[in-house]
Amino acid sequence: MTERVVLVSGHFNILHPGHLRLLRYAKECGDRLVVAVESDRIAGNAAHVPEILRLEGVQSNNWVNEAFIADEPITEVISRIRPDIVVKGKEHELRFNPELAVLESYGGRLLFSSGEMVFSSLDLIRKEFKNIDTKSITLPNEYLARHGVTKERLTYLLQQFSRLKVCVIGDLIIDEYITCHPLGMSQEDTTIVVMPVDTTRFIGGAGIVAAHAAGLGASVRFISVTGNDTVREFAIAGFAESGVEARLLVDESRPTTLKQRYRSKGKSLLRVSHLHQGAISVSLQEQMLQELEEVIEEIDLLVFSDFNYGCLPQALVERIVAIAAARGVVLAADSQSSSQVGDISRFRGMDLLTPTEREARISTRNREDGLVVLAEQLRQQASANNILLKLGEEGLLIHAGDGKADEWLTDRVDALNSIPKDVAGAGDSLLITSAMTMASRGNIWEAAFLGSLAAAVQVGRVGNTPIQSQELLRELI
């Protein structure tokens, strides 16, 4: 099936909301949107901005697949590229349109529309996924002083991240944010009716843990299982862009996990998950083990990022841990149980575990004791060295060994971002940043702080964008 090409032409001095509505409408009419920007010669007095700047403005729009300077009449442009559809503004519908005769000669169509007013706000919507207000982040100076942690030391540790070789293994998830415009209440039943106006995808799950590690400067290999679908193709492209060496094994029996979030006016309306939770086959487990064995002699840090979707069966986990522990690799794990039941304590012998309070209580079946007792019970059950207990808006509880038998220290770090936009990626950024700090010979207090700082940066924007070391360094200045 050939793609349908849509053509729009014009001066485009300034990309104003009217242009955005028209371009959005045109893109929805076909598969590929081509824009012909009239040259200074063709536009004449209507060109108030040089043609190269007008072209750059159009090319910056996400809906446009191709844009070029048209130094010939629009009828000749149409004859040359033969688009399936030409879109013009509604104001041209009752006028003479020279494009019509050329289009009719080969079966093309001429459509008129000025789009809908909701689309003019989409550039502002997309900024929500990129912008972060660092003014809402406050450093815990008393905590830093209490443990003798200096900004110079933290800067040094962040610089050491570039020396690390990291392997992340676990469940890949693709997060899809579907921004909607509310239309009102259905007249047939008590249902809110919305219209999707924009879609943005991010690599999530264990994949974003790997992307965070690469953004922080490490050399990273990521091992996971996907379906054989277009979502997998998106992931492959994303990992290539972020600098992660991804080994994605194909399981024909499952889809690549896709989690959709429908949002309107900065709030989540609905979440839909496309996934398969059954354990991967023994054959795939052997392939994952082989992938790990290729790099185990080189890596400094191995991170399990488990979402309980079947990528890490217990037998595979135990074999991996035995291989890594025998080689002195730093081990860290997180096993998320947001909408399903998991057991963080099944990752035994970790240098670092980062559960939520709920996940810790599920693993220990302890619903009554205080946080310190809970953390110690989980540590013993999992034979872990350090526990970072995530408490959401209350921050982080640190349960840390000091190197002496039966002597454990506890402290906390408050949540550093007072105005979070999207808390979904906080745990992933905390896990990898804390683990990389320990692999760089930082202590648990330094690891807990840098992990908390990474989480504060991450929740300050919507969607999973990989953390960059420069973002953390800026907060330390």
Contacts of 471 (CB under 8 A, 6+ apart): 132, 457
* Average pLDDT score over residue span 1-7: 87
| Whole-number pLDDT of residue 421 | 79
Of residues 402 and 427, the one with the higher pLDDT is: 427
pLDDT of residue 121: 45
Q: What is the pLDDT of residues 124-165, one digit of tens each?
A: 455 555 555 556 899 999 999 999 999 999 999 999 999 999
Q: What is the pLDDT of residue 188?
A: 73
Count CB-CB contacts under 10 A for residue 259: 20
What's the rounded mean pLDDT across residues 198-220?
Answer: 94
Which pLDDT score, from 0 to 100, does residue 46 have? Answer: 81
What is the arithmetic mean of pLDDT over 302-311? 94
pLDDT 10s digits, 43-84? 888 888 899 989 998 998 888 999 999 999 999 999 999 999
- Averaged pLDDT for residues 110-135: 59
In what helix (H) or strand (E) does residue 19 lie, and over which residues does it extend? helix 17-28
In the chain the domains, ranked by start, together with CATH numbers, are: 5-124 (3.40.50.620), 132-171+204-230+237-251+278-476 (3.40.1190.20)
pLDDT for 134 equals 57
The SS3 call for residue 226 is strand
* Whether the predicted pLDDT of 403 surpasses 60: no
Mean pLDDT of 104-118: 81
Q: How far apart are CA 86 and CA 67, in angstroms?
A: 14
Q: What percent of the chain has pLDDT over 70?
A: 92
Q: 155 in helix, strand or coil?
A: helix
According to DSSP, the β-strands at 258-264 and 172-185 are parallel
* pTM exceeds 0.95: no
Binning pLDDT at 50, 70 and 90, where does residue 407 land?
Answer: low
- The average pLDDT across 354-381 equals 92
Confidence class for position 338, pLDDT limits 50, 70, 90: low
**Per-chain mean pLDDT for the chain:** 89
pLDDT score of 111 more than 90: yes
Query: Does the structure show a pLDDT above 50 at 360?
Result: yes
For residues 336-352, give the mean pLDDT: 84
Is a pLDDT exceeding 70 seen at residue 405? no
Longest dimension (CA), the chain: 88
pLDDT for residue 122: 47
Buried b (16+ CB within 10 A) or exposed e, 380-403: ebbebbbbbbbbeeebbbbbbbee
Q: CA–CA separation, 457 vs 437, rounded Å?
A: 17
Nearest residue to 98 (alpha-carbon basis) of 90, 107, 86: 86
By C-alpha distance, which of 302, 285, 206, 208 is closest to 249? 285
